[in-house]
Amino acid sequence: MAVVSGGSRGLGRVLVERLLAEGWQVATFSRKPNEFTGAMAQAHPETFLWESVDLQETAQIRQFTKTVKERFTAVDLLVNNAGVLHQELFLTIAPQKIDDLLAANLTAPVHLTQACARLMMRGGGSIVNISSINAIRGYRGVGVYAAAKAGLEGFGRALARELGPVGIRVNTVTPGFFDSELTSDVTDRNREKIQHRTPLGRLGTVEEIADAVLFLASPQARFITGQSLVIDGGITC
């Protein structure tokens, strides 16, 4: 069974759809339900679970994993997908906003990973963390988000060493820009700039990022752990 954080829209939604179509049991959360989570709950009453969880609330994350354990017993795949982007220059960003960004993008996935890894101990499994090219290149206005994502990548490498011996692989997908609600504020001019700087000459699609996640989760990647796979059309090369 698979746990995907933030499965109500964007990349998380595509992963939920594709995993369910492949026959996985899937548990996901977001703060709010929507048409998609409602439709999945109706279409897959036995194999789909959605709960309301806020990444800022560690107790809610732990409670969610308790529900997962009661309903599904073990976890085979965790995708730490949910993330929050807030763009603001570092000198003006409010202290509370800094804490919130680090909590959502780093602390929360660390807690979710610990709880899920404990449910992988018997049969092994795979963890895929969703980072961002902000973790590996400097861009203005995203310092705190970049710090959290770079932290997530380091976390993944350390964990790969620790959990490899018990059969748990840990990898990172590092996407460049793709269209979603997270990036809805990006202006057309900036989209054109990104496209222009991208060797493959276009923006990525959410399906292409999902392909990389599902590859790392699959048996085809059974000897890959501790790695980051950058999916960005070459913009960081």
**111-170: contacts with ligand NAP (CB under 6 A):** 130, 132
**Residue 197, both tokens:** 């700087």
Minimum CB separation of residue 109 from ligand NAP in Å reads: 9
Give the E-state strand segments of the chain in sequence order: 2-5, 26-30, 48-52, 77-80, 125-130, 168-175, 228-231
**Residue 201, both tokens:** 């000459």
Site for ligand NAP contains 50 (CB under 6 A): no
Answer yes or no: are the C-beta atoms of 49 and 67 closer than 8 Å: yes
- From CA 173, how far away is CA 27, in angstroms rounded? 20
Pick one of 18, 20, 44, 56: the residue that binds ligand NAP (CB under 6 A).
56
Pick one of 1, 8, 65, 214: the residue that binds ligand NAP (CB under 6 A).
8
Judge whether 139 counts as a catalytic residue. no
Site for ligand NAP contains 211 (CB under 6 A): no
Site for ligand NAP contains 107 (CB under 6 A): no
Q: Give the nearer residue to ligand NAP in terms of CB position, either 121 or 211.
A: 211
DSSP conformation class of 185: T
- Assign 66 to helix, strand or coil: helix
Minimum CB separation of residue 227 from ligand NAP in Å reads: 17
Q: What is the Cα 86 distance to its own chain's centre?
A: 16
* Residue span binding ligand NAP (CB under 6 A) among the ranges 7-15, 86-94, 112-120, 213-221: 7-15
Minimum CB separation of residue 151 from ligand NAP in Å reads: 13
User: Order of strands, edge to edge, in the sheet holding 125-130?
Assistant: 48-52, 26-30, 2-5, 77-80, 125-130, 168-175, 228-231
* Residue span binding ligand NAP (CB under 6 A) among the ranges 8-16, 115-123, 189-197, 211-219: 8-16
Cα dihedral 119, 124, 125, 126, rounded to 10, equals 110
Site for ligand NAP contains 65 (CB under 6 A): no
Site for ligand NAP contains 203 (CB under 6 A): no
Q: Which of 145, 155, 177, 178 is catalytic?
A: 145
Binding site for ligand NAP (CB under 6 A): 6, 8-12, 30-32, 53-56, 81-85, 104, 130, 132, 175, 177-178, 180-183
Active-site annotation, residues: 145
